């Protein structure tokens, strides 16, 4: 089992085996084009949380507000979930399963759902929410106002900065989350004067996740009103829980110890600690529950946070010891060394890909003002910035050794995040990793791999207790404790394919970066996920093949209030893919279990094919229920999994099913929640419809779906829309499916020129390409020497052979 000690390192022996390209990547950083715009910037401080700027190292994150009189730094640590280890499996589930299936076979779906609700849902019928680690509040004295104000986030260095002038003093602040040092570093400086401030800590509380700013006005991409320079949020000391203690920890540090919250009857089991150490000139004095700094020109704050989490079954760690060690090591290094080490660790991954869409000229407008008019005024550079911001967010919220990116990535303001801030695995967690491979940051998948390894253990218990099956599985949600039982009721939770879909990200990593050692690591996961369906697929009552039962098509109803069914399209598509990946891995590894492979092949052949309904639409269910379903514009488009992220339905091989998918998408509409808009964007892009995709992208970039800090708006904030949009924009330029690389397959007319360097394709290939006047000008490929690569541009398919250096070049 993993230990928390290993999480302090970016590369370990185990990670090197799973991700052998990680060490090599350290010397393969791409030189970035000088004209690429890589900053979000603003003329005023953040009001609400969705205007603050995020930093993160995968495990530890912060939101930076850039306020003048009272700076707020809101903290997160990725294991600070509620509750503790628990077994959610319902002991009545297995006995009820045959009765539920019989009711479904008799078309008694409502009765089946009622029995599921009474006997098969998890205990509790919810999971543990992700929490915040509190706020640091820096109260400055003697500042009369602020002029020449600017705050920004430099994606290339992963540093959030604020600069302003008061009187004759220029103030600058820098914040970054260091991967090598495993601390958040806050650098405060005053040129031409001194700083006097008090540093305090505010415990995380429940938060209002509405869409209003501090004045009560509706927020948009242009802040409703500039933050007053002297705006201060209270410490709320009277609301401090009894489980929290604050005290001085030496002559220059503050130590906070607390416990996580209980939830849904699961008691609190985690301890957490935050340690803040102040270094610099001036006088630094701990004073009760604060640190007082007087007469300083330069101060560095080192912030460490940790919990007692070791793994999903072990909470015996010592968070106080850990934060003391981390700050002590960081304190032994000068600020310049901490900064340069952080920048190097970030750039070795971030600089692999560069992107320019449109003009070389930098846009002179603040980011919030660009977002405010994105739907009305074309801004190709904003799309390029969105891609790089998505890459930055994934690098910041999912690093080797950390937890995977959750519903909000890493960043959450309170103890009651939207939808628990956990892992929704009927689309959202999977979407988080859609850009990882093409955006050339495949190492970010490593935390997901470890989560799936955990689920193969807890999900094996759920498979046995709930279904009497071998292998492992998970339903539509999981959390830090790797719960796999169904939750939230039969309308949402009784879906058996969450674990199977997670396997796609693992297979994609192999497909983009072929490596036998990694394949051997994931094969048991693929085989175990497949074994579950070998044991649980049943004969369709109407003789149409093997189907899942009970199930749903996430999270849609086929009749008012009823989602329970057998064999929805998405299940058939996912299981078909899963069996296919497992069979490929079996063949590549020469696994000796030929009887298993034969059984898998036979069952795969009996999965019902995709069907076209009476309206010409791709059917969501085995029955043609679409026209009568209560939500014609439902946010989920689950049955289009086969189009994207899968490739079962595609413009080359199944044009009739692509036509049916377009009928369904036209019915669902282009505008939806943030992540659902991103999925629609990806679908139209995969189908080569560049103009339709571009129109959807304009809506995604606009103020209804993008907050001022470029976080995606469901609303409220969910990070999957950022990641889905990032993947889709790259797909407009380079697609990789069906054994081919397709360049500029969905290029819109609004992007007549541009270039991309370092985008990845399946087969271990990396591409650079330039286009001008809407046409490909130059394409360069890198890969394995002697490798044959098929490239399609328009109607032309070219077969290129890489030379002895693994290179090939072609002109448009």
pLDDT of residue 47 exceeding 80: yes
pLDDT of residue 189 exceeding 50: yes
Average pLDDT, the chain: 93
Tokens read off for 242: 């009894």
Strand intervals (E) in 359-478? 423-424, 477-478
Q: What is the pLDDT of residue 362?
A: 83
Cα separation, 584 vs 579, whole angstroms: 9
Q: Calculate the CA 495 to chain-centre distance.
A: 21
Cα separation, 415 vs 781, whole angstroms: 47
> In the chain, where are the structural domains located?
4-81+129-351, 754-811
**428-to-297, 498, 797 alpha-carbon distances in Å:** 45, 11, 34
As its CATH architecture, domain 4-81+129-351 has Distorted Sandwich (2.70)
Average pLDDT over residues 220-229: 71
Cβ pair 230, 238 in contact under 8 A: no
pLDDT of residue 440 exceeding 90: yes
| Nearest alpha carbon to residue 685 among 657, 652, 645 | 645
Q: What is the pLDDT of residue 211?
A: 54
Lowest mean pLDDT among 14-23, 80-89, 466-475, 507-516: 14-23
Express each pLDDT in 384-439 by its tens digit: 999 999 999 999 999 999 999 999 999 999 999 999 999 999 999 999 999 999 99
In this predicted model, which residue has the larger pLDDT, 529 or 32?
529
Position 217 confidence tier, pLDDT thresholds 50, 70, 90: low
Cβ neighbours around 108 below 10 Å, total: 15
Tokens read off for 382: 């904003």
Percent with pLDDT over 70 in the chain: 93
The pair phi, psi for residue 164, each rounded to 5°, is -160, 170
Q: Give 435's contacts (C-beta < 8 A, 6+ positions apart).
A: 387, 390, 391, 394, 441, 723, 726, 727, 730
Express each pLDDT in 745-754 by its tens digit: 999 999 999 9
In this predicted model, which residue has the larger pLDDT, 244 or 48?
48
- Give the up-direction half-sphere exposure of residue 83: CA atoms within 13 A in the CB hemisphere: 24
Cβ neighbours around 562 below 10 Å, total: 18
Express each pLDDT in 617-660 by its tens digit: 999 999 999 999 999 999 999 999 999 999 999 999 999 999 99
Cα separation, 766 vs 512, whole angstroms: 9
Cα separation, 645 vs 661, whole angstroms: 14
Position 36 confidence tier, pLDDT thresholds 50, 70, 90: low
End-to-end CA distance of the chain: 51
| Nearest alpha carbon to residue 535 among 598, 586, 469 | 469
| Nearest alpha carbon to residue 559 among 640, 665, 637, 631 | 631
Q: Which residues are 742's β-sheet partners?
A: 735, 792
Express each pLDDT in 542-559 by its tens digit: 999 999 999 999 999 999
Percent with pLDDT over 90 in the chain: 88
Residue labelled with tokens 């939806």: 672
pLDDT of residue 216 exceeding 50: no
């Amino acid at each position: 089992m993993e230990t928390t000690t290993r999480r302090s390192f970016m590369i370990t022996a185990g990670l090197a085996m799973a991700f052998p390209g990680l060490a090599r990547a350290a010397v393969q950083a791409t030189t970035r084009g000088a004209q690429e715009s890589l900053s979000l910037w603003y003329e005023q401080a953040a009001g609400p949380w969705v205007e603050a700027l995020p930093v993160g190292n995968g495990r530890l994150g912060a939101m930076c507000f850039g306020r003048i009189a009272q700076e707020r730094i809101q903290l997160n640590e990725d294991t600070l979930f509620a509750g503790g280890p628990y077994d959610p499996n319902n002991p009545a589930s297995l006995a009820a399963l045959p009765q539920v299936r019989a009711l479904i076979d008799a078309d008694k779906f409502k009765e089946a759902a009622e029995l599921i609700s009474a006997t098969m849902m998890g205990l509790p019928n919810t999971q543990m929410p992700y929490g915040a680690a509190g706020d640091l509040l820096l109260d400055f004295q003697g500042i009369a106002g602020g002029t020449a104000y600017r705050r920004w986030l430099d994606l290339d260095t992963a540093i959030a900065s604020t600069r302003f002038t008061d009187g004759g003093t220029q103030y600058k602040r820098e914040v970054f989350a260091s991967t090598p040092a495993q601390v958040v570093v806050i650098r405060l400086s005053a040129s031409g004067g001194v700083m006097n401030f008090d540093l305090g800590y505010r415990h995380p509380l429940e938060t209002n996740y509405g869409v209003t700013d501090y004045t009560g006005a509706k927020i948009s991409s242009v802040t409703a009103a500039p933050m007053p320079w002297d705006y201060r949020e209270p410490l709320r000391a009277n609301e401090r829980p009894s489980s929290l203690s604050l005290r001085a920890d030496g002559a220059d540090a503050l130590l906070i110890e607390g416990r996580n919250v209980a939830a849904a009857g699961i008691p609190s089991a985690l301890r957490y600690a935050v340690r803040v150490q102040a270094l610099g000139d001036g006088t630094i004095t701990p004073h009760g529950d604060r640190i007082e700094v007087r007469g300083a020109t330069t101060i560095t704050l080192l912030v460490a946070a940790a919990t007692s989490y070791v793994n999903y079954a072990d909470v015996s760690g010592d968070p106080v010891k850990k934060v003391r060690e981390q700050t002590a090591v960081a304190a032994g290094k000068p600020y310049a060394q901490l900064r340069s080490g952080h920048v190097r660790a970030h750039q070795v991954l971030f600089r692999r890909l560069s992107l320019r869409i449109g003009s070389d000229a930098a846009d002179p407008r603040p980011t919030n003002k660009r977002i405010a008019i994105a739907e009305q005024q074309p801004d190709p550079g904003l799309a390029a910035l969105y891609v790089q911001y998505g890459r930055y967010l994934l690098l910041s919220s999912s690093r080797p050794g950390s937890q995977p990116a959750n519903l909000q990535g890493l960043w959450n303001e309170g103890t009651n995040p939207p939808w628990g801030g956990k892992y929704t695995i009927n689309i959202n967690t999977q979407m988080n990793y859609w850009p990882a491979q093409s955006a050339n940051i495949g190492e970010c998948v490593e935390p997901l791999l470890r989560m799936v390894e955990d689920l193969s253990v807890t999900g094996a218990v759920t498979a046995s207790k709930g279904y009497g099956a071998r292998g492992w599985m998970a339903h539509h949600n999981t959390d830090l404790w790797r719960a796999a039982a169904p939750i939230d009721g039969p309308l949402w939770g009784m879906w058996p394919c969450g674990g199977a879909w997670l396997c796609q990200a693992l297979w994609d990593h192999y497909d983009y970066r072929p490596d036998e050692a990694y394949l051997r690591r994931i094969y048991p996961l693929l085989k175990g996920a497949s074994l579950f369906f070998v044991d649980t697929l049943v004969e369709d009552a109407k003789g149409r093949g093997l189907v899942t039962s009970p199930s749903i098509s996430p999270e849609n109803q086929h009749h008012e209030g009823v989602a329970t069914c057998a064999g929805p399209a998405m299940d058939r598509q996912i299981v078909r893919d899963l069996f296919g990946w497992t069979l490929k891995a079996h063949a590549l590894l020469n696994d000796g279990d030929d009887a298993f492979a034969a059984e898998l092949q036979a069952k795969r052949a009996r999965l019902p094919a995709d069907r076209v309904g009476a309206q010409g639409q791709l059917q969501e269910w085995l029955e043609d229920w679409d026209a009568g379903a209560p939500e014609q514009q439902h946010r989920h488009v689950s049955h289009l999994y086969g189009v994207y992220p899968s490739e079962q339905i595609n413009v080359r091989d199944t044009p009739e099913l692509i036509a049916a998918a377009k009928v369904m998408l036209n019915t669902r509409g282009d505008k939806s929640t943030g992540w659902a808009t991103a999925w629609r964007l990806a679908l139209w892009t995969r189908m080569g419809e560049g103009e339709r995709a571009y129109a959807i992208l304009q809506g995604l970039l606009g103020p209804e779906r993008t907050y001022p800090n470029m976080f995606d708006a469901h609303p409220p904030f969910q990070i999957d829309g950022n990641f889905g949009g990032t993947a889709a924009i790259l797909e407009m330029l380079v697609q990789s499916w069906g054994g081919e690389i397709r360049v500029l397959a969905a290029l819109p007319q609004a992007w007549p020129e541009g270039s991309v360097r370092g985008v990845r394709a399946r087969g271990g290939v990396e591409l650079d390409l330039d286009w001008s006047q809407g046409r490909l000008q130059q394409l360069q490929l890198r890969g394995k020497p002697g490798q044959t690569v098929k490239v399609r541009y328009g109607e032309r398919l070219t077969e290129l052979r890489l030379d002895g250096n693994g290179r090939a070049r072609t002109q448009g």
